[in-house]
Amino acid sequence: MTQQQYPSFSELVRVSARIGCLSFGGPVGQIALMHREIVEQRGWISEEQYLHALNFCHLLPGPEAQQLAIWIGWKLHGVKGGFAAGLLFVIPGALVILALSILYGLAAQLGWVIALFLGIKAAVLGIVVQALLRIAGRALQTQFKRVVALAAFVALAVFALPFPLVVLTAGLTGALAWKLRPAWLGLGAVSPEKAHGPRPWGASLAAIAIGGVAWGLPLTLVYATLGPHHVLWQVGLFFSKLAVVTFGGAYAVLAYMGQQAVQSFGWLSTGEMADGLGLAETTPGPLIMVTQFVGYLAALRAPAPFTPIVAGLLGAALTTWVTFTPCFLWIFALAPWIERLEHAQRLRAALATITAAIVGVIANLSLWFALHVLFAQVRTVAIGPAQVMVPVAQSLDLKTLGLAMLAALLLFRARWSVIRTLGATALLGLALGALPG
């Protein structure tokens, strides 16, 4: 490919819709799909531009594949293209998850549904561990980063420190390490910063102003009409905060979401959180769409003054809005600075250290899921300032343990895909549910 080709807007819409409907497999598969469709087959974006944009999206909070789709549209057709590519990437999966959330809310207590999701929950354990190993292999190249990951795990699993505090501390530690011991970070050298024309302050400030108003408008309406104690206000505010601190992808989000949605707000159980992740794994679009499942169930169970279904739909819509609107804000505000940010070494150091801490976050998620899915009873034991989760041995679910071991074999030894593994364990769970005892 020697010459870059530029599509018409209708061509961009058509290909973006295709990507949105086929984007299974989490961020790795989605990024590979966009590369094949946009770079290899059509030549709309060069290899260098694509890699620079991908590195840039890794610096931002939120789902990197979603932001990369927005950037591709923005690069090809400005703001109009960014909206088209970004919306078409997320809408197919959002509609599917919404339909599945409604069915789940209606049928969650039926015996066959419980049995079906027994297998899904077991597979989710293996999927989370697979994500942990994949991210650790990419992020922990130096001893310093491995220490950061371990410290993050201990801070969350033993001392129950808040996820945002862990992320902020990691970022500050990385910036300080770059100043004192840059070799600890293993980032490699980049060329000195070069001039890239006038700084695009006007476009960035306009995007921040418009995007900020759009982001906050639904929350303002909820606060004015329903007040600060309504579940919709709590849902909207919580997922807005989540959108700002979710470096490291959906699995990092799940750790903080589980800590708050399950333990603090009581919107759903740990098992239901695992069910939601299983549903999100089987649908196209960003894995972070699991947030819509949580928002739906939270509002469904505290519906007043609406009917349960209406409240659930409002909760799902509000959650999706405050989760994905910031993605457009980040890209439209910061994409014009992409070449300059490539040379922001201290920022790169901070984000690399945050990524290392995310490994500890996902390790904590793995432990938390494993204990609550495999054991019916888990106690929290206080030892001074530490709080350690201890399972009750007699409450071990042998069916779930067996399915989890099978899922691990299929994922790690047989190298089955996530969707194939989920399907197999779900059917086996259904069969085991029909057995007595």
CA pair distance 42, 20, nearest whole angstrom: 17
Provide the pLDDT confidence category of residue 395 given band limits of 50, 70 and 90: very high
Please state whether 62 falls in left (phi above 0), alpha (psi between -120 and 50) or beta.
Answer: left
pLDDT value at residue 316: 97
More confident residue, 6 or 424: 424
Give 43's DSSP letter: -
Would you report the helix, strand and coil content of the chain in percent, each value rounded to 5?
A: 75, 5, 20
Write the pLDDT tens digit of every residue in 17-30: 999 988 876 676 78
CA pair distance 293, 129, nearest whole angstrom: 22
For residue 294, which phi and psi values (nearest 5 degrees)?
Answer: -65, -45
**Average pLDDT of span 293-317:** 95
The percent of residues above 70 in pLDDT, for the chain, comes to 91
Q: Tokens 């939270």 sit at which residue?
A: 298
More confident residue, 191 or 123: 123
Write the pLDDT tens digit of every residue in 189-201: 555 545 455 677 8
pLDDT value at residue 195: 47
Helix (H, G, I), strand (E, B) or coil at 194: coil
**Average pLDDT of span 155-169:** 85
CA pair distance 250, 1, nearest whole angstrom: 34
Helix (H, G, I), strand (E, B) or coil at 313: helix
CA pair distance 145, 271, nearest whole angstrom: 32
**Average pLDDT of span 116-141:** 83
Q: Which of 71, 103, 20, 62 is nearest to 275 (CA)?
A: 103
pLDDT value at residue 68: 92
pLDDT value at residue 306: 96
Residue 339, pLDDT > 90, answer: no
The percent of residues above 90 in pLDDT, for the chain, comes to 42
CA pair distance 271, 423, nearest whole angstrom: 18
pLDDT value at residue 189: 58
Within 8 A by CB and 6+ apart from 44, the residues are 4, 5, 6, 7, 38, 72, 76
Q: Find the helix or strand (DSSP H, E) in which 380 lies.
A: strand 378-383
Residue 345, pLDDT > 90, answer: no
Residue 285, pLDDT > 70, answer: yes
pLDDT value at residue 311: 97
Within 8 A by CB and 6+ apart from 273, the residues are 254, 257, 258, 261, 262, 294, 369
Residue 147, pLDDT > 70, answer: yes
Provide the pLDDT confidence category of residue 86 given band limits of 50, 70 and 90: very high
pLDDT value at residue 17: 94
Within 8 A by CB and 6+ apart from 292, the residues are 94, 97, 98, 101, 316, 319, 320, 323
For residue 284, which phi and psi values (nearest 5 degrees)?
Answer: -70, 165
355 C-beta neighbours (distance < 10 Å), count: 24
Provide the pLDDT confidence category of residue 92 given band limits of 50, 70 and 90: very high
Asked which of 44-58, 200-214, 287-301 is least confident by mean pLDDT, the reply is: 44-58
**Average pLDDT of span 2-6:** 62
Residue 21 CB-density burial (10 A; 0-12 exposed, 13-18 middle, 19+ buried): middle
pLDDT value at residue 418: 79
pLDDT value at residue 50: 84
Give 123's DSSP letter: H
Please state whether the peptide bond connecting residue 286 to the residue before it is cis, i.e. omega within 30 degrees of 0.
no
Give how far the C-alpha of residue 324 lies from the chain's centroid of Cα atoms, to the nearest Å. 11
More confident residue, 204 or 250: 204
**Average pLDDT of span 331-360:** 80
Encoded amino acid at 363, one letter: A
Provide the pLDDT confidence category of residue 437 given band limits of 50, 70 and 90: low
pLDDT value at residue 323: 92
pLDDT value at residue 410: 93
Residue 1, pLDDT > 50, answer: no
pLDDT value at residue 84: 97
Give how far the C-alpha of residue 83 lies from the chain's centroid of Cα atoms, to the nearest Å. 20
**Average pLDDT of span 377-398:** 89
Write the pLDDT tens digit of every residue in 228-258: 999 999 999 999 988 887 766 666 677 678 7
CA pair distance 327, 313, nearest whole angstrom: 22
pLDDT value at residue 180: 92
**Average pLDDT of span 58-80:** 89
- Whole-model pTM? 0.78
More confident residue, 112 or 89: 89
Q: Which of 15, 60, 6, 5 is nearest to 36 (CA)?
A: 15
pLDDT value at residue 255: 67
**Average pLDDT of span 328-336:** 90
Q: DSSP labels for 127-145?
A: HHHHHHHHHHHHH--SHHH
Mean of pLDDT over the chain: 86
CA pair distance 54, 193, nearest whole angstrom: 19
More confident residue, 302 or 277: 302
More confident residue, 98 or 64: 98
Q: Which of 236, 297, 270, 293 is nearest to 373 (CA)?
A: 270
CA pair distance 26, 379, nearest whole angstrom: 33
**Average pLDDT of span 28-37:** 82
pLDDT value at residue 2: 43
pLDDT value at residue 402: 93
Alpha carbons within 13 angstroms on the beta-carbon side of residue 46 total 6
| Residues shown for the chain | 437
List the chain domain ranges. 94-187+199-433
